[in-house]
Copies of this chain bind each other. A is one copy, B any other.
């Protein structure tokens, strides 16, 4: 029952993050208990000004507040019920909370689907209660939820009270440990608007929090850490929403290797999906994929400084020749562009800096950072106000104590003169007061040149994504959802597959099947030659392995070829039922071969794979992928991303290939799968013959797997 405008009916999570009233079931005065930690985090370490009710039948008061024996006795249906009672009492509590009209249950308790069969069953019960009573469930098996702009921590974590830096980064994770790791980036100067850590996600999931953060004015960037998406299309819809709102999502997905996928699956009981497909989906949705947690924070930090346009040019401002060189080196390896200073900037730099300084980009002021701090600041101001410069990178290789501290203050003064972000890279392991001066001033440093290069690259790329978004967006094939794994599938014969594709408008060689040698001869005489002839049998997939394929057959020899093929196949596979031999015209000589495939990913649904020829796919993994549907324009873009694309554009004196025809074929295959998304599991067309310009493209083979 999906609404056309909001098929996923994303919940309004404002009352969860900014509740007017909270009940804590299991709140306790008992030292070191989870209930005590949790309640103390709200009472002592939060600045929650709403109504707070401890629920504990064994105490009249908890931490001086009147306690209630159960949900029914609460003076009002609260926005959020935080539950820290043992697992066996959780369902009963949620049932009561739902009946009382409470809106959200935050279940911190562990021992559910992550633990055993009882827990799996109990979690199903929770889902059912939620659907029946309308209460939405957060957790179970999670450390809680944090809103740092109040601050409010509905969490048992002993680290909550130390990780309180507010800021513009929203964080959505599943597990708690890695989320806490990201929160502890506040020790390097990062600030957070909120952190959801949704544990087993029996109801609310990362997608819901992404959707919420997308609409949260306190948030400028959303960082997510995911072990497995509970509902891929739901995430895709939320990510679309974030992109519409101009909110970048920075994503790290565990499971890029088999070890990781297996471990994440065992840890979270999620389907982790394919890493390649996940990267494809991230790229297509504008989710910025990172390789490590610190990289996620680096990119998020840049977005809190400024929104990128996609065309940024950078200046390097250093007081060490080595740092200038190494930073410029990383600028280059990251594919960034150094700005060329205007004559005015160059004049100012020449006036300010000593003659032995390097005043072109990368700037090396030499050691004036110690001897002439004023000149350092003036030259930084000149650099940062340069009309051709969009970002100033200031590598600081070491801590010189009070000198560095003084320069840090001057950095802030320089930043106040311009909108161009000045971003220090403090890559010494020694962080002194100078570091924290920068961080406090909002100039949070990168911690390595490598990370700087990666982060700035990703930041600029997102600007480019926003530029191109309108041209590349198509409606996602999300409303079909992703049906569960197919239990019974059937592979169509080549003739059936080609007929299905032909009916959908895909150009295919038109095969005919002969059941006898006489019929083969009749068909061959009509078609003319040369011909391709292949065995037809539902049991035989690899036709050439059984002597079942003959190419370039002269029409006059068709009857003999029929007999040969049937005899070979019968000898090789006596078990198989042979339906006859397929005949079709050979494709014209001299074409380029392409590969077009569609497979259903268990998380994100149908994904297309495109490549040129077996060699490039097999040896160099030179393929591009996209979620369906793929338009003709998108297909052209996909082709352009192949390293082997120049084979199509007139390589070594060959004529340019019919790119339009290939792109149209790809889009038509996409339309075919979209129209039969509930039934088609897999399409593989290998090869697609691609002729010279105007000659068209032609599916020479087709394997289609359907649900029966």
A76 lies within 8 A of chain B by Cβ: no
10 more A-B residue pairs beyond the given contacts A259-B338, A264-B329, with a C-beta to C-beta distance below 8 A: A158-B401, A177-B319, A187-B430, A256-B333, A257-B333, A258-B332, A259-B328, A264-B325, A267-B321, A295-B450
A515 lies within 8 A of chain B by Cβ: no
Chain B residues closer than 8 Å to A502, beta-carbon distance: none
| Bound-complex Cα distance A256 to B331 (A) | 10
The residue on B at minimum CB distance from A331 is B259
- Cβ A294 vs Cβ B448 within 8 A: yes
Within 8 A of B (CB), among A261-301: 261-264, 266-268, 291-295
- Cβ B227 vs Cβ A178 within 8 A: no
Bitwise interface map of A from 358 to 377 toward B, beta carbon under 8 Å scored 1, else 0: 10001010000000000000
| Bound-complex Cα distance A364 to B177 (A) | 12
Contacting residue for A326 out of B260, B328, B450, B622, CB 8 A: B260
- Cβ B652 vs Cβ A614 within 8 A: yes
- Cβ B291 vs Cβ A260 within 8 A: no
- Cβ A399 vs Cβ B254 within 8 A: no
Chain B residues closer than 8 Å to A398, beta-carbon distance: 159, 177, 180-181, 184
Among the stretches A212-220, A581-589, A639-647, the one at the interface with B is A639-647
The residue on B at minimum CB distance from A324 is B263
| Bound-complex Cα distance A255 to B331 (A) | 11
Within 8 A of B (CB), among A386-400: 397-400
Contacting residue for A178 out of B180, B225, B263, B326, CB 8 A: B326
A427 lies within 8 A of chain B by Cβ: yes
Chain B residues closer than 8 Å to A262, beta-carbon distance: 328
Q: Given A177-B320, A398-B184, is A263 in contact with B329 using a C-beta cutoff of 8 Å?
A: yes
| Bound-complex Cα distance A175 to B179 (A) | 39
Bitwise interface map of A from 566 to 605 toward B, beta carbon under 8 Å scored 1, else 0: 0000000000000000000000000000000000000000
Bitwise interface map of A from 236 to 268 toward B, beta carbon under 8 Å scored 1, else 0: 000000000000000000111111111110111
A428 lies within 8 A of chain B by Cβ: yes
A488 lies within 8 A of chain B by Cβ: no
Contacting residue for A294 out of B188, B328, B358, B427, CB 8 A: B427
Dominant secondary structure at the A interface? helix
- Cβ A643 vs Cβ B614 within 8 A: no
- Cβ B619 vs Cβ A184 within 8 A: no
Chain B residues closer than 8 Å to A263, beta-carbon distance: 324-325, 328-329, 362
Within 8 A of B (CB), among A288-343: 291-295, 319-326, 328-333, 338
- Cβ A322 vs Cβ B176 within 8 A: yes
Give the Cβ gap from A53 to chain B, nearest Cβ, in Å: 28
| Bound-complex Cα distance A186 to B330 (A) | 24
A348 lies within 8 A of chain B by Cβ: no
| Bound-complex Cα distance A259 to B178 (A) | 36
Chain B residues closer than 8 Å to A618, beta-carbon distance: 646
- Cβ B326 vs Cβ A254 within 8 A: yes
What interface size band does chain A fall in? Answer: 35 or more
Give the Cβ gap from A666 to chain B, nearest Cβ, in Å: 21
Q: A: which residues have CB within 8 A of B?
A: 114-115, 158-159, 162, 173-181, 184-188, 225, 227, 254-264, 266-268, 291-295, 319-326, 328-333, 338, 356, 358, 362, 364, 397-401, 427-431, 448-450, 614-615, 618-620, 622, 643-644, 646-647, 651-652
Q: Given A175-B322, A267-B364, A450-B291, is A256 in contact with B185 using a C-beta cutoff of 8 Å?
A: no
Give the Cβ gap from A654 to chain B, nearest Cβ, in Å: 11
- Cβ A158 vs Cβ B254 within 8 A: no
- Copies of the chain in the assembly: 2
Q: Given A115-B356, A259-B338, A291-B450, is A178 in contact with B320 using a C-beta cutoff of 8 Å?
A: yes
Give the Cβ gap from A265 to chain B, nearest Cβ, in Å: 9
- Cβ B184 vs Cβ A323 within 8 A: no
Give the Cβ gap from A157 to chain B, nearest Cβ, in Å: 9
Chain B residues closer than 8 Å to A295, beta-carbon distance: 450
Chain B residues closer than 8 Å to A266, beta-carbon distance: 358
Give the Cβ gap from A355 to chain B, nearest Cβ, in Å: 9
Give the Cβ gap from A449 to chain B, nearest Cβ, in Å: 6
Query: 11 pairs across A/B with beta carbons < 8 Å?
Result: A177-B397, A180-B397, A181-B323, A181-B428, A188-B429, A260-B325, A260-B331, A293-B326, A293-B427, A293-B449, A615-B647
Contacting residue for A254 out of B329, B651, B652, CB 8 A: B329
Q: Given A430-B187, A448-B292, is A267 in contact with B322 using a C-beta cutoff of 8 Å?
A: yes
| Bound-complex Cα distance A465 to B528 (A) | 61
- Cβ A181 vs Cβ B427 within 8 A: yes
Chain B residues closer than 8 Å to A356, beta-carbon distance: 114-115
- Cβ B427 vs Cβ A260 within 8 A: no
The residue on B at minimum CB distance from A262 is B328
| Bound-complex Cα distance A322 to B294 (A) | 15
Contacting residue for A400 out of B159, B227, B326, CB 8 A: B159
The residue on B at minimum CB distance from A338 is B259
- Cβ A259 vs Cβ B397 within 8 A: no
Contacting residue for A329 out of B173, B177, B256, CB 8 A: B256
- Cβ A175 vs Cβ B264 within 8 A: no
Chain B residues closer than 8 Å to A338, beta-carbon distance: 259
- Cβ A333 vs Cβ B260 within 8 A: yes
- Cβ A158 vs Cβ B322 within 8 A: no
Chain B residues closer than 8 Å to A115, beta-carbon distance: 356
- Cβ B332 vs Cβ A260 within 8 A: yes
| Bound-complex Cα distance A292 to B326 (A) | 9
- Cβ B450 vs Cβ A292 within 8 A: yes
The residue on B at minimum CB distance from A322 is B175
Q: Given A333-B257, A450-B292, is A177 in contact with B643 using a C-beta cutoff of 8 Å?
A: no
